Structures are given as structure tokens and as C-alpha cells.
Structure 1
Amino acid sequence: MIELVNVSACQQQLRVIDRLSLSIGAGERVAILGPNGAGKSTLLKLFSREIYPIDEPGSSLTLFGKRNFNLWELRSLIGFVSQDLQEDYTPYTSALDVVVSGFFGAIGTHDHLQPTPEQLEIGRAMLDAVEMTGLESRMFQRLSTGQKRRLLLARALVHRPEALILDEPANGLDMGAGLTLLSLLRRFCGEGHALIITTHHIDEIIPEVDRVVLIDEGRIVADGPKPAVLTSERLSELYQVNLKVTEQDGWYRCWHG
């Protein structure tokens, strides 16, 4: 599904990803974990083609087997949710219009982008799916942070993509909103789709995730099955503090040792 070979990328003229190689297959559920500034969000922006890698010899990035990708086609294969999108979204947009804007890859609604009756029907179904029935007329700015995040999840799902990519999905949510969102992600994974999430909180890694990638300073420092990577030793080294990790029923917890 995604393959990077010796890829580097810059943000604000700083090299944030440094000669990184990574392969993620169709249907895989992967968590990318690392401290702030490690390069997690930049890596996801490479996947979504929001930014492009530095053109260097021996470097390549392929998505679904292609190096050159039509963005419209890519939107139908990958649903993307980020805090940047939430912060940039037009505040005076109804919940239903937010969802159906996903059909056009737009932020907000525009006169020249009119959804069809079928698209509106799908939008309402997606609102139901993310437990926001009855809120289709509510303005985006009037929603709670948790509702906004669920709404953007619905927007990402309108094309029924093969993969869902989320950048720190539960960040800034209270306990109830965070658990609701994680429950929705578990349901999505239960349908056999691929999932890629970034986080620096291991309690946000749902049991369905079976592979974890640790990243620091733009490079991968560990990659493998969740039990082998989410250990006290590895996370203590990653975060430069003594940490203890436990697991119960597929959920991991971490505290200062």
C-alpha cells in the first residue's frame, strides 16, 4: 500500500524526515509512535501528498504501487484526519456539509460544488455511523472538540476508503470523547480496513493495531509486532525517561518508573 525508500522531507526548510524507509501492506493496522517533533505528522503528510519528498538519488515513494498518483484517485483510497484540518475548517459550515465536502476534497461548501441527493444520503448515513444523528444542521464552530473530530472522521469515510490515516486522533479530547472515537476506530478495523495512526500516548493504540513503528528525529528506531516494540526498555530509550509498560486485553498503559 505504501512504500518509502530512503525518503527525506522538509518542513519550513528543516529536514524533518531523514533517509527513512518503510513499507506498509494492504490491510495492515499500524501505530507510529514518537515524541513531539519526531516527524510523525510530516510522515503522514507524505502519505497524503500534502508535501512531497526531496528528490534525491536512490529515493522513492510509492502509493498503491504507483509513484505518480492522481490526487482524486488517492482520496477515494485513503481517508485522512488531522488536527490541521480541524483548525483550518470553515467554521460556518453545517455538519452535513462538512461530511459531503469529502466528496470534493474541499474545506467548506462552495456554489460550484453541489452534492447529489445520493451523496447527501451517504453523508447522513455517515453522521449516523459516527453517532451524530440529528446534528446535520449544527454549525462546525458550535460542536465540541470530540464532535468535530468525529465529523472529520465521517468526512474521511464518505468514499469508503481502503485505509484510514489519523494524526493523533484523540489529542485534546476528554476521556469520554476519546473513548468514543477509539470505539469508532475499532469498528472501522473490524470491517477489514487498513489503519495508520500517529500518537505519543500508547493508551490510544487500539487492540486491533498489531504493528508499531517508533520514530525519532526523522528516523525509524524500531518497527515490529506490538508486544515486541511496546516494551519498557524501548519506550524509556525513546522518551529518555524511565517508563514502565503493562498490557491488559490488548490495551497498553505506561507510567513513570
Structure 2
Amino acid sequence: MIEIKGLAKKFAVENPKKLSEQEKKDPRLKGRYFHSVEDVSFACEAGQVLGLLGPNGAGKTTTLRMLSTALKPSAGTVEIKGVDVLAQPLVARKKLGFLSGATGLYGRLTGRENISYFGRLHGVPDQQITDRIDELAALLDMHSFLDRRCETFSTGMKQKTAIARAVIHQPEAVILDEPTTGLDIMATQTVLDFIRRLKQQGIPVIFSTHHLDEVDELCDRVTVIDQGRTRFDGSLGAFKALSVGSLHQSFLSTLQPGE
């Protein structure tokens, strides 16, 4: 289970005069601090997929980075499988697979070498890494490019390799930040099938997306963040019930007036 309560994160603004007019009007700007996340709470049980939605700049990526231990919250609590992420970040990282918005692959290494390297960082034995890479390559349809340098990869190839790298150590929970952005239809379906398989294995999955059809296809729960706050947190059925029209209308209904 992944559980977040009252999560908040503020950043110091070095020079407020250099902010754009839109940034100056954001209610999260308070004095010399920008409160990217002010109050976010949600939970994802074992075997559930939670879709994290929100406009650009809502605080989704900051929330996921705090959940992944890449950022330290200003307030709130984060637990992964009963482990307090703030008190035991190293233990939490071992339980977590995290795909950030940037793939961050080493271009001069092959896909296999990139995945293997991160497996070693997690302390996975060499033979287990070899077996796991073969398994992931089959699931993500990677065999045709696995031994090519990553600098030659297409966007889809890079994303599949980054996903494999994120789960090489068989994590107990997985967080994916917009995993299908920039992918073609076939690559997108491969990634969605992989998420579905994680769900079948009882692994809680949180993924952010702007594609509501993916939410409808995969998610058990939906959380909407707007201006750094949770605006909706509930089942997919409850989210659909917000509007008699479409998921798009349900999403819009959760946003602040005027957004």
C-alpha cells in the first residue's frame, strides 16, 4: 500500500521580479516562497492502479518526486508498504520502482547495459539480472534493440528501457510519471499491458497521465490535483459519476472555478 497524507512542498524564489505575470498570479506564491504542493492526500492499495490527474503545473511531478524520495517534503507523511519514506528513505527506495519524466539513460551504453547497471546499484545478483532482463525484454517487446546503444533509440525504445530499469529489482510498488508520453499506439499498448500485469501481481501502481482513455482502461482509483491540492480522490466509478457526459467533463468539474 502507498499512502500520502497532507503532503506539502515549498521552494524559495530567488528573484520574484523575474517571475512571469502568470506565476505572479498563482495563489501558491506567498512572499519569497512558491508552494508547489500545499495539501495532497491519497492512497493506493495492493493490486490497484491509481491515475494521478491535473493540469500542467498542478504539482503532480513534485508529488511523485517526494513519493520517490527524490525531494524531501516540507510537511506531511509518505508510507510505502508500512515504511516511513521520510524516516527510512533507503529502505523505501528498495521497495519502489520509479520512472521520472526524463528517461535519463546513458547514451553510450546499450539498453541491456543500462538496465544491468541499475540492477547492480540495487544489489541484484548478476544471474538474476540476466534472467530478469530477458523476462522484461519479452514483456516490453525489447529484444530487437536491447543490445544497441541508447543514443540511437527512438522515444518508445528509450521509454521501454527506462521502465525496465525502474523495475529490474522487482519493487513492491511502482510509480510512473507520464509513461506513455510521446509513444506511438503500439508502444503505448505495450506499456499499458505491462502496467496491467503489475496490477495482476498485486503491485500498487501510481501513474500520472493526461490521457483519460488510459484512466478508463486501467485505473481503479483517480486522484485529481489542482494548484497543489487534492481536488478529488476516489474510485473510478465515483469519478465517472461527477458528470453524465465524459471523463473529460468529470475532470473539468474538479478544477477550481475559472481554470
TM-score (norm 2): 0.78
Match of 2:83 among 37, 50, 66: 66
Whole-angstrom CA distance in 1 between matches of 2:196 and 2:80: 24
Percent identical pairs in the alignment equals 31
Report the Cα offset of residue 169 of structure 1: 0.9
The SS at the match of 1:16 is strand
**8 Å Cα contact 2:52-2:223 kept in structure 1:** yes
Match of 2:193 among 183, 187, 200: 183
Whole-angstrom CA distance in 2 between matches of 1:12 and 1:227: 39
Other-structure match for 1:80: 98
Q: Which moved more, 1:165-174 or 1:134-143?
A: 134-143
Q: Residues 240 and 173 of structure 1: is their aligned pair in 2 closer, same or farther, counting only changes over 3 Å?
A: farther
Amino acid at match of 1:2: I
Whole-angstrom CA distance in 2 between matches of 1:152 and 1:212: 24
User: RMSD between aligned alpha carbons?
Assistant: 2.5
**8 Å Cα contact 1:96-1:124 kept in structure 2:** no
Q: Residues 40 and 105 of structure 1: is their aligned pair in 2 closer, same or farther, counting only changes over 3 Å?
A: farther
**8 Å Cα contact 2:44-2:205 kept in structure 1:** no
Report the Cα offset of residue 134 of structure 1: 4.1
The SS at the match of 2:38 is strand
Q: Deviations over 1:182-228 (max 9, x none)?
A: 12222222222211111122012263411101110110111111122
Q: Residues 114 and 40 of structure 1: is their aligned pair in 2 closer, same or farther, counting only changes over 3 Å?
A: closer
After TM superposition, list the pairs within 5 Å mapping 1:28-107 onto structure 2. 28-55=48-75, 59-67=76-84, 68-71=87-90, 73-84=91-102, 86=103, 88-105=104-121
Amino acid at match of 2:2: I
Amino acid at match of 1:178: T
Q: Residues 162 and 183 of structure 1: is their aligned pair in 2 closer, same or farther, counting only changes over 3 Å?
A: same
Report the Cα offset of residue 102 of structure 1: 2.5
Unaligned segments of structure 1, at least 5 residues: 107-112, 242-257
Q: Deviations over 1:208-252 (max 9, x none)?
A: 4111011101101111111221444432334689xxxxxxxxxxx
Q: Residues 144 and 239 of structure 1: is their aligned pair in 2 closer, same or farther, counting only changes over 3 Å?
A: farther
Report the Cα offset of residue 141 of structure 1: 1.4
After TM superposition, list the pairs within 5 Å mapping 1:79-158 onto structure 2. 79-84=97-102, 86=103, 88-105=104-121, 116-158=126-168
Report the Cα offset of residue 11 of structure 1: 4.9
After TM superposition, list the pairs within 5 Å mapping 1:147-226 onto structure 2. 147-205=157-215, 207-226=217-236
Q: Residues 238 and 21 of structure 1: is their aligned pair in 2 closer, same or farther, counting only changes over 3 Å?
A: closer
The SS at the match of 1:193 is coil
